[in-house]
């Protein structure tokens, strides 16, 4: 049975979904393809106590890396891409091309790489927000480009905008 909780954050109310003790999804408000709470799901704030604690520490600037039990559903290729996201250090960014090179994904498959990143069901925890365009542009983010900019600014990878 799926369980869920909702928690407030600086980027809006987060929806955490899991099975057992494993987190299967973390989504932001207005996110493309975000899960919605369904009949039969049970709200269980206690089951997500550790995730809530770590997210609070992250947003307070005290946690650069999450250590949670994760069980996202995806293809073998998606899983490989998502695991590579875990290696992008807090406070840094990488480009789609650099990530493709690291995974030996040929240039002809760069769209598949982008699609796998876009399908990441564990926003923030699996830091797909740290992948940017080669020109430094903030390319698509399922949670919205504004949230991506806020997360990267929070991590110190971007300078705060004045005004």
Q: Which residues are catalytic?
A: 128
Torsion over CA of 99, 11, 1 and 53, rounded to 10 degrees? 90
Token readout for 110 is 């760069």
CA 39 from chain centre, in angstroms, equals 25
Closest CA to 85 of 141, 135, 16: 141
Alpha-carbon span 99 to 94, nearest angstrom: 7
Helix H or strand E segment including 17: strand 14-19
Which DSSP category does 25 fall into? Answer: E
Cβ-contact 52, 99 below 8 angstroms: no
């Amino acid at each position: 049975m799926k369980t869920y909780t909702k928690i407030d954050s600086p980027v809006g109310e987060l929806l955490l979904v899991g099975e057992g003790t494993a987190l299967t999804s973390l989504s932001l408000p207005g996110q493309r393809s975000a899960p919605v709470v369904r009949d039969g799901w049970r709200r269980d704030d206690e089951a997500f106590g550790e995730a809530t604690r770590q997210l609070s520490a992250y947003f307070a600037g005290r946690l650069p890396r999450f250590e949670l039990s994760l069980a996202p559903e995806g293809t073998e290729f998606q899983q490989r891409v998502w695991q590579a996201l875990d290696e992008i250090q807090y406070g840094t960014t990488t480009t789609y091309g650099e990530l493709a090179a690291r995974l030996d994904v040929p240039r002809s498959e760069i769209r598949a790489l982008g699609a796998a990143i876009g399908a990441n069901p564990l926003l923030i925890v699996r830091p797909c927000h740290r992948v940017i365009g080669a020109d430094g542009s903030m390319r698509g983010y399922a949670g919205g480009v504004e949230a991506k900019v806020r997360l990267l600014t929070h991590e110190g990878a971007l300078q705060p905008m004045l005004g």
